[in-house]
Amino acid sequence: MLILRREALGDLPVLHIQLQGLRLRNPFTASGLQTDLGHMPISEEAVQQSVTDLLEQNATPSDDAGGYEEWRAAYERGEAGVFTLPVAQVVQALEDAVNAPTPADTFSKSNRK
């Protein structure tokens, strides 16, 4: 986990982090695995619950491809928020979401009487 930025949203300290070295199942990638997440806004408290050791300071993050700017614009429109769960739970929720069956997979129509 790399911390890209820290800011306060009202009384909530928020960290913008980047995750590398993931093995997130993602059927929308060529390999079926997603290995990084360029930008994730998360409460500082949730990060503190997630981190056990500081491995390096002043590490160089890879380019987040404008993730913060996109998030910030959506946040200001009221269309985005901040994760408050520990990082592992957020990653699991993201993996579950991208692998959830679509309604077409879940329901079928039958014309039988």
pTM: 0.80
Q: Which two tokens stand for residue 57?
A: 């300071």
Average pLDDT, the chain: 87
- Give the least confident one: 27-31, 48-52, 96-100, 102-106: 102-106
Residue 88: what are its φ and ψ, rounded to 5°?
-60, -40
Q: What is the pLDDT of residues 6-22, one digit of tens each?
A: 999 999 999 999 998 99
Least confident range from 17-26, 56-65, 86-95: namely 56-65
Across residues 87-95, what is the average pLDDT? 95
How many other CB atoms are there within 10 angstroms of residue 47's CB atom? 20
pLDDT(85) > 90: yes
pLDDT of 54 reads 74
Please tell me the predicted confidence (pLDDT) of residue 110. 53
pLDDT at 106: 52
Tokens of residue 56, six digits: 């390096």
Strands, E assignment, 10-46: 12-25, 33-43
